[in-house]
Amino acid sequence: MSENKIDNNCLSFCQPSEVDLQKRDFLVKATAATGAVGVAAVAVPFVGSMLPSERAKAAGAPVEVDISKLKPGEKMTAEWRGQPVWIVRRTPEMLDKLVKHDDQLSDPNLEVPQQPEYCKNKDRSIKPEFGVMLGTCTHLGCSPNDNFAMTADWDGGFVCPCHGSKFDLAGRVFKGSPAPKNLLVPPHQYLTDTTLLIGDDKKAEA
Ligand code: FES
């Protein structure tokens, strides 16, 4: 019988040779090792994805803002969690106007929780002089423009360039605007008279 032909008599009765046994051991070990590498390769990125990166932690961290150079009647913009936060230094005249147009507003009494409890007051602020609010329209997220010049029909505020929503200098939305809610007031507190911390309000809440 040639070596390439199957010996039918041997299919069920022949014992594996020493060489066959060595080959089988080698294949079993090689397969087990490949499986272990595969598990390790999958496990590393999974564990890695559960740990917040330094960049992600920094992106959600509170932001300190120096407001010492902000003049009365001006606005500055900080960035917190990738969003613009406006700080408006309101003059006494601006603050006077805030209480004169409640009847034109959608939510003058702040019933929709768009501000922390400590800002649920007529100025929507901790210190009346400084208004702090997210510069993102509550309709579809455009950034409203400043329109601080007062006229007989306008007490100063913001107008959204996308669909015309109007907000006053406390970020309260006027009736008839497509925006359904007032601008959001983020959590914040004052670390000093001229340093604002946005994104953390433990002291303000206490
Ligand atoms: S996004 Fe501001 S009015 Fe539509």
| Structure tokens given for 56 | 């992600």
Is the distance from the beta carbon of residue 159 to the nearest atom of ligand 1 less than 6 Å? no
State residue 136's pLDDT score.
Answer: 98
Residue 111 CB burial class (10 angstroms; 0-12, 13-18, ≥19): exposed
Give yes or no: residues 90 and 34 share one domain.
no
CA angle in degrees (0–180, nearest 5) for 88-66-200:
85
- State how far the Cα of 167 lies from the Cα of 172, in Å rounded to an integer: 5
Q: Tens of pLDDT along 70-108?
A: 999 999 999 999 999 999 999 999 999 999 999 999 999
Give yes or no: residues 152 and 194 share one domain.
yes
Question: At residue 13, does pLDDT exceed 70?
Answer: no
Average the pLDDT over 133-155 and give the result: 96
CATH number for position 161: 2.102.10.10
Please state, in angstroms and as integers, the Cα–Cα distance from residue 118 to each residue in 15, 102, 106, 133, 152, following that order: 86, 20, 21, 14, 32
Number of domains in the chain: 2
- State how far the Cα of 138 lies from the Cα of 54, in Å rounded to an integer: 30
**Ligand 1 centroid distance, CA of 139 (Å):** 5
Give yes or no: residues 26 and 68 share one domain.
no
Give yes or no: residues 103 and 156 share one domain.
yes
Give yes or no: residues 186 and 138 share one domain.
yes
**Ligand 1 centroid distance, CA of 136 (Å):** 9
Domain limits at 29?
Answer: 8-50
Is the distance from the beta carbon of residue 182 to the nearest atom of ligand 1 less than 6 Å? no
Give yes or no: residues 68 and 151 share one domain.
yes
Question: At residue 44, does pLDDT exceed 70?
Answer: no
Which has the minimum average pLDDT: 37-46, 47-56, 193-202?
Answer: 37-46
Give yes or no: residues 73 and 130 share one domain.
yes
Residue 85 lies in a domain: yes
Is the distance from the beta carbon of residue 137 to the nearest atom of ligand 1 less than 6 Å? yes
Give yes or no: residues 127 and 173 share one domain.
yes
Ligand 1 atom with the smallest distance to the CA of 178 is 3
